[in-house]
Each structure stands twice: as C-alpha cells, then as structure tokens.
Structure 1
Amino acid sequence: MAQRGRRRDRPHLIIMRGLPGSGKSELARDIMEDYGNSGEILSTDDYFIDEDGDYNFEYSQLKMAHKWNQKRAEDEMSMEVHPIIIDNTNITCRDMKPYVEMGLEYGYYIKFETTPDTFGRTIDELHARAAHSGIPKSVMKRMRKNFEQVDSIYDVID
C-alpha cells in the first residue's frame, strides 16, 4: 500500500454521488476547474458514447462498462494523475468500493461529493433532466430509496 501523507501532499480521488439528472457531470467539471483542469473525469457513461458522440445506453452492457471504467481509474492512479473524479451515480457503498480500494492502494486522498439536487429536486424534475439516459422513473425512485449515506471511506470499506 502506498504511503499515507498529508491530504495536500497526496493525489485526490473525488467520488461523485447523485441521481441521474442531479448535476454530477456539471459539478465534476466545476471541481476539475478548481484543480486547474489538470486531472481526469472518468464516467461509466463514456463507455456508451459512439464515435459520432451519441449516447447509446444498453443495460446488458452495464456490468462490463463499470469494469471498463474501473480499469481506466486504476490506469490513471498508477500514473498518479491528480485529481481523478469518478462521475457515476455511486448510490451504494458497493458501487464505490472498487474505487475506494484502488484509491487506498495508490495512496489517494478520497472524498465524496453528493449533488444537492439528488434530494433537492423531485423525481419528476430529475427524470426530465436525465431524459437522454432512458432510465425509468421507477428506477430513479428505487435509486433514491437505496441511496446510502457515506461520511468517510470507512463507511464504504466496512
């Protein structure tokens, strides 16, 4: 395991959290700007973007897409990229665990950012904002219901 130094001396891993349509990508870009646009934003959604830039989500490919994004994160961590922002919904601790474990292995300071709109907007509003995703309202309701509170990495790894 890599050395644990002071927070400012280690590369940062920021794990975005929030329902579809809650502004995760926008917040991730704002955070990256605060870091001088020097790192990487990694999203599982990127797997579904074709060469023309169109988003073509296929639920049957979701597990493979998550593995693909986790591999990209590990590649970036092995090069000590700073910061790395994981721009996924990350509803449960299980969703975040691979990233947290990698971050710890590579000596990253890990923090979680939940979008205010995840609970500050209605499911109808979020669904309208995430119309491109094709996610049904019933799934979004279930995601909100299953959203696990996370205060630290210990909530995720325990």
Structure 2
Amino acid sequence: MTAKLTLIRGLPGSGKSTLAKTFEVDHFEADMYFVDADGNYRYQAEKIGEAHQWCQSMTEQSLSNRNNVVVSNTFVRRWEMMPYYKMAKRFGAEFEVIECHENYGNVHGVEPHVIETMKKRWQEWRSEAQ
C-alpha cells in the first residue's frame, strides 16, 4: 500500500487546520509544537525552526510506517515545501498540495500587516518547481 503525503497551505486564517482535521490520517503542523500539556497555545518566535523540524520529523516517522499524512502550515515559499516533497519521493509516497484561500480570521493573533507581507511573498506550487 502506498502512503500519501498531503500539504495544506495558506495564509493564517484561511482554514488550513480546519480542513486538515477532516482527513482521517496523521496530522501535523508546526503550531502543534507550541501547545502545552494543558492544551494552551504559547507561540515562541525563537523556536519556530525547532517547530518546523519537529513537524518534519513527525511526518517522516509516519511515512516510514506507511501512514497517510497531512501537514498544514502556511508554506508561503516553495522551498518550505521541498523537504516534504523530497520526503514523499524517498518513501515512495503520493504527494499532493492543497491551497486554502478563505479568510476566517486567524486564531493565533497574527497581525494583519504580517499576513499582508506573507501574501506579497506567496509563491505558487508548480510541478516545474519540483
């Protein structure tokens, strides 16, 4: 059985996490790294690199067990998706990218000017980029 790795990308508040939760597969996102044992979200900007490394490690572990995985992160730039694309290739997993474009208001308090900056930096995912 071939595993599948699905990336869900979009700006903060676009519905990524909500959509990811509808998949009955292993689900990871960098924001999960900042949730404490009591379920409280405590973002720490200086640990964002660790959060993304954790997300990639969890994804790799699931794929190594032939589990289907969905990862929901902003993935504004193509290079941010490449480690996952390469991981899918390494494990022979199907790879899919879904984009969310709605605006539900973000639950993590990301400032509008930050979202606007992300929007300006947005890169489309194209097969040529792979």
TM-based fold match above 0.5: yes
Give 1:28 deviation, angstroms. Answer: 1.3
Which one scores higher on RCO, CA 8 angstroms, separation ≥ 6? 2
Give me the whole-angstrom Cα distance separating, in 2, the residues matched to 1:108 and 1:43: 19
Question: Is residue 2:130 matched to residue 1:144?
Answer: no
Question: Of 114, 132, 157, which aligns to 2:99?
Answer: 114
Give 1:99 deviation, angstroms. Answer: 0.8
Aligned equivalent of 2:4: 12
How do 1:15-30 and structure 2 match up within 5 A? 15-30=7-22
Runs (4+) of structure 1 exceeding 6 A deviation are none
Question: What TM-score do the two structures reach when normalised by structure 2?
Answer: 0.93
Give 1:137 deviation, angstroms. Answer: 1.5
SS at match of 2:73: coil
CA-to-aligned-CA distance 1:93-124 (integer Å, 9 cap, x gap): 1111111111110011101100131xxx4xxx
Question: What TM-score do the two structures reach when normalised by structure 1?
Answer: 0.77
SS at match of 2:21: helix
Question: Is residue 2:56 matched to residue 1:81?
Answer: no
CA-to-aligned-CA distance 1:98-154 (integer Å, 9 cap, x gap): 11111110011101100131xxx4xxxx5xx21x423222111011111111133x4
Higher helix share: 1
Aligned equivalent of 1:135: 110
| AA at the equivalent of 1:136 | E
Q: Aligned-pair RMSD on alpha carbons?
A: 1.4
Q: How many residues align?
A: 130
Give 5+ residue unaligned stretches, structure 1: 1-8
Aligned equivalent of 1:45: 31
Mapped contact 2:11–2:101 kept (Cα < 8 A): no
Give 5+ residue unaligned stretches, structure 2: none
